[in-house]
Amino acid sequence: MQLSDDIYSVSDLTKEIKLLLEEGFSDLHVHGELSNFKAHVSGHWYFSLKDSGATINCTMWRGINNYVFFTPQDGMKVVITGRITVYPPRGNYQLDVRSMKPAGVGELQAAFEALKEKLLKEGLFDEDKKNPIPQMPSKIGIVTAVDGAAFKDMISVAKRRFPIVEIIIAPSRVQGAGAAESVVAAINSLNEEKDIDVIIVGRGGGSIEDLWCFNEEIVARAIFASRIPVITGIGHEVDFTIADFVSDLRAPTPSAAMELCTPDQREIFGIINDFFYNASENISDLLNAAQVRIKNALGSYGFRMPIDLIRQRSQQIDSSIFKIFQIVDRKILIDNNKIALLSGVIQSHDLQGTLKKGFVLVKQDGHFIKRLKNFDIEKSKTLKFFDGEVELRKN
């Protein structure tokens, strides 16, 4: 309480100061350098903002800081928005931060270089620690946003090059606050699967801010720790992220990433055709050489004298040649059947072909329903036919 007109108690004076500061500085934009940054286990952030002449303590509460798309680091220059608050028990004033962004692209670039140098020294970029990429994977995991163009491009490439490959999608945010944590969770979930051969981490192009989640340390360490080989296809050809340096293979685009980890079915058929052609040619050469040796033997002096013996051997030779042709014909028939079987397997994986037979695909929440246990009758659903789609909405 106020003791007299000109004498204040400590509490009253602090209340007056608190009222004056909090009403007078309720919406501030402040530029400064981060110092003593600490992310508390509670989720709150505590740090100082300083320049050459002063320092002010700052607090950014859990939930509010979820909207910051980068990891703050000491020495980084930022622009914060907030208000002045006073803590009466200590008589301290501080900034209650509501938003934070880098002071410029240069700050992000400096953070990029600092993390790159740190991970380089730790050996996360070493070539001898990178896993080999399988040449013919049977199952590929994809970490990306399922509603993005990058995902559609990768699926299109896979269908064109190697349609029998199985695609496992781990949906992830790839931009903005929380994107780094989402990418890490997706990579870890794919590593829990037993039979995934390779993982593609990808997204389309964008600014350095858009791609920043792939420059976060937690994403780099998740890629390095992956037991499954990881290919990154992030942004455009000129874009490089920390994730690209850590990954087992860097592709210039998401589509190129899918190209690098899938064989071309046309090349496979070409190899098969070349094999059978060369095998047939080799057999013909062997037969021709054998015929020459036989003719030489039949024309020799020893075979001309005993006519009966020559005729007997000639009959045996004719029988042997007949058997050889039977074996060759059988081999060619078996190989043709194998080719027809492989062609049938590839064609059987064509989605449009399956729909044309009268099958229908059911989609809910943007995903195709593969099992009855995943079907929710209470939700809206989309039925995909060969000639179109029908959406059934929940009344």
For residue 236, the domain's CATH number is: 3.40.50.261
Compute the distance between CA of residue 112 and CA of residue 45 in angstroms, rounded to an integer.
21
* pLDDT at residue number 229: 96
Residues 115 and 257 in one domain: yes
> Which residue numbers in the chain have pLDDT < 70?
1-5, 22, 24, 91, 105, 298, 300-310, 395
CB atoms within 10 A of CB 360: 12
Domain count, the chain: 4
Compute the distance between CA of residue 230 and CA of residue 134 in angstroms, rounded to an integer.
11
Residues 207 and 277 in one domain: no
Give the strands of the sheet with 367-368, arranged side by side: 367-368, 361-364, 381-385, 388-392
Q: How far is CA 230 from CA 52, 141, 197, in A?
A: 44, 9, 9
Range of the domain at 204: 110-261
Taking only the tens place, the pLDDT of each residue in 265-287 is 887 777 777 777 777 778 887 88
With a threshold of 0.75, does the pTM exceed it? no
* pLDDT at residue number 344: 77
Residues 244 and 122 in one domain: yes
The residue type found at 73 is Q
Last residue of a domain, one of 261, 289, 308: 261
The alpha carbon of residue 67 and the mean position of all alpha carbons in its chain are separated, in whole angstroms, by 24
* pLDDT at residue number 5: 65
Residue 302 within any structural domain of the chain:
yes
Please tell me the number of Cα atoms within 13 Å of 157 on its side-chain side: 18
